[in-house]
Structure 1
Amino acid sequence: MTLHSPSFRLDDYRALITGAGRGLGLAIAEAFAASGAKVILCARSQNELEVAAQRIKDAGYCADILISDVSDVESFARKVQKLDGIDILVNNAGTNRPKPLNQITFDDYDSVMNINVRALYFATQAVTNQMIKDNRKGSIINISSQMGHVGAKNRTVYCASKWAVEGFTKAAAVELAPYGIRVNTICPTFIETPMTEHFFKNIQFRQEVMDKIPLGRLGVVDDIVGAAVFLASNASSLMTGSSLVVDGGWTAQ
């Protein structure tokens, strides 16, 4: 008797991951490659990308690079048009400038919203336009946050950006479903990455975060990559317009 099990394999899929030079983006790219995908790592830094891609190749997998600033949405779209067909897009590039509401500047607002919302929106547009043109079904994975479901002090702009990502994801999922393109989010709690490392040097802040996580620990990138592989694979083939909240119980309270 042969038992049926859902496939988490990504064999022959081509996956584009933004913000993939390090941290969570690189970890997702490595997990996709190990699951059989041909990955394209996208970021601004050529040296960082070359090192990351070589690391994947040295492990025996397929990796290419795309040097691009996703906030330059027109340039990014032109580069996407030159790529071979894409099956999976992970919108991982993001930023944050935590400050009290009354200290937020126009530059703070524009910086966060331009990367977290505008760039993500038009990256999705560029890739799904090509998917539709090529008649390719696929999966769009937007890296959102638990802060797309709750609020927190010093996070007004970041929360605004991630709530926007959640709303965009649901609307895009409905619009793209007839083409067989799924759109979902992953919503992590605080993850220890190079981007967050300096925040956790503040002992008071670290303790405040820990007090909000019932499981009693910060997240690490390995906590997120499984969710990414699931959403990229056929194991989640009926899932679209949804959020995978990987937060240690933060939003359950």
Structure 2
Amino acid sequence: MYKVQEVARIAGVSVRTLHHYDSIDLMKPSNKGSNRYRYYSDEDLKLLQQILFLKELGFSLKKIQEIIKNGYEAEYAMARHIELLEQKKFRIEQLIDNARMTQNEFSSGEPLSNEQRFAAFSIRHTPDRIDLYQKPEIEVSVKGDLENIKDETSMLEASSPQAAKPEKEAEDLEEIDREANRIYSAVAGLMNLPADAPEVQEEMAAYYHLLDRFYECTPNMFRNLANLYANDSRFSRTIDQHGDGLSNYLKDAMHVHANALQHA
């Protein structure tokens, strides 16, 4: 058990913050001594880590309370943290690049176009939606994965939203499902190669066009789907049936293809 001062030191927060979390029932200590001292367990510290992740992502304390009280599952939430932090990282990297281009404009006198000047600012923050942390009750198969791409990507898209394509007929979905399985199996057989190998990227091009048939795909959407496949066990379990570690390898290969498209 840890005293409040120890928890504050370990986590880098103030004692006042911990007292406040206790007072609003966000994170209460496991025990309070007869001397009214607060004592925290390792499980309490695990919860505190989750709270700090959510704060870092811009959630208010009120929304954090709602998330934690509404069927919160730490393993599922961690995958969401990673996805949203990667989006935040991407936006910050684009803003840094934009600042450097502007700095170069001052020093070189070479003007930027207005499109270049504001491109990084058009990348939206992911809204602090608590529903992102509500774990679906059903498992997702490869076909279910494809059928739910529209919902998942609309959450993850970091640039302007795209219009959904018309609903697909059942036969079309079956064809997409078969092609997805073919690509997964083909890529599983190429995992001895680097992710940027031409043979692998040929399959990534096929996969990109496959997804684009169902939903208007963008390079950033493709990248975020790659993160989802690797970090969310609903998807990785299905994909890894084609080859151990395929979901992580697929993520790397999809990132390579998305970067190539973005810089084409």
For Structure 1 versus Structure 2, the TM-score category normalised by the shorter chain is under 0.3
Structure with greater strand percent: 1
Please give the TM-score of this superposition, normalised by the length of structure 2.
Answer: 0.25
Higher relative contact order, structure no. (Cα contacts within 8 Å, ≥ 6 residues apart) = 1
Please give the TM-score of this superposition, normalised by the length of structure 1.
Answer: 0.25
Structure with greater helix percent: 2
Query: Which one has the largest radius of gyration?
Result: 2
